[in-house]
């Protein structure tokens, strides 16, 4: 434990503040195994290994945290929505643990301020916030056990963010929703994606979305995935009445 902690302390500047003081304000309890929390905020770019040669970064803790979030939230939904069938409960859990929602949680807690990395924070993508949140949950579980982890998830996720009625109307992927609707209604669909650099420095992609061989929407973004999602969102509003029943 001291080996990892010393590496961490020696590589941080004073302006980053006291790591463990900031951490305890977020956790609202004192960590038992500080090394786990150091690992939870260490990016792989640090290229640190323990005495056995194992990498010290948050990725494995992220895996554990993801499982714990799914478990606690699944039980909460099971208790709170007795009329919900398996499909409904699965959809609702997906909305709560969506990447968008986890990123929001990580941002609200300011977790990126604690991360140790050789990459400038401005270069991180949005998902760093959710990744750190999952890693923190994983560290809490391994450090303090299920009950502490469950309490943290209720305090930081379920109580402040989970409203069943609001979530029922929340769309987490317009593309998935549109494809589900097309398959159910036996409509053909096609995403025609092509590179579109235009006058921009960054590479862009444009997409034409066709349903039953008719172009219904177009969009442009910095990745194929984002362009397809934007086109799907525009198509959703064009067919909202027909699709709404699937949400």
Domain boundaries, the chain: 2-168, 174-246
Using a pLDDT cut of 70, give the percent of the chain over it. 90
- Averaged pLDDT score across all residues of the chain: 87
CA 128 from centre of chain: 8
| CATH assignment, 2-168 | 1.10.1520.10
CATH architecture of the domain with residue range 174-246: 2-Layer Sandwich (3.30)
Rounded CA-CA distance 246/75 in Å is 23
Mean pLDDT of 23-29: 92
Rounded CA-CA distance 89/81 in Å is 8
Mean pLDDT: which of 57-66, 157-166, 194-203 is highest?
Answer: 57-66
- In three-state secondary structure terms, 90 is helix
pLDDT at 6 over 60: no
Query: pLDDT by residue (tens digit) across 108-148?
Result: 999 999 999 999 988 898 899 999 999 999 999 999 999 99
pLDDT at 226 over 50: yes
pLDDT at 14 over 50: no
- Give the strand pairing for 214-221 and 189-195: unpaired
pLDDT of residue 13: 44
pTM passes above 0.85: no
pLDDT at 47 over 90: yes
User: How long is the chain?
Assistant: 247
Contact 236, 225 (CB under 8 A): no
Which residues form the catalytic set? 66, 134
């Amino acid at each position: 434990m001291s080996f990892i902690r010393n590496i961490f302390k020696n590589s941080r500047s004073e302006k980053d503040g006291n790591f463990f003081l900031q951490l305890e304000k977020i956790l609202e309890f004192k960590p038992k195994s500080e090394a786990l929390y150091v690992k939870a905020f260490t990016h792989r770019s640090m290229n640190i290994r323990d005495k056995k040669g194992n990498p010290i970064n948050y990725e494995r803790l992220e895996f554990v945290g993801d499982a714990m979030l799914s478990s606690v939230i699944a039980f909460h939904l099971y208790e709170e929505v007795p009329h919900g069938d398996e499909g409904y409960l699965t959809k609702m859990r997906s909305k709560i643990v969506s990447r968008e929602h986890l990123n929001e949680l990580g941002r609200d807690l300011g977790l990126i301020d604690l991360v140790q990395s050789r990459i400038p924070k401005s270069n991180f993508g949005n998902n760093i916030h959710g990744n750190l949140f999952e890693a923190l949950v994983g560290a809490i579980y391994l450090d303090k056990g299920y009950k502490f982890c469950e309490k943290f998830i209720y305090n930081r996720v379920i109580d402040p963010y989970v409203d069943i009625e609001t979530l029922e109307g929340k769309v987490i992927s317009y593309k998935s929703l549109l494809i589900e609707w097309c398959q159910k209604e036996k409509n053909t669909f096609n995403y025609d994606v092509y590179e579109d650099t235009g006058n921009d420095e960054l590479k862009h992609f444009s997409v034409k979305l066709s349903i039953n061989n008719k172009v219904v929407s177009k969009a442009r973004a910095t990745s194929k995935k984002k362009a397809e999602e934007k086109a799907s969102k525009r198509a959703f509003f064009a067919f909202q009445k027909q699709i709404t029943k699937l949400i």
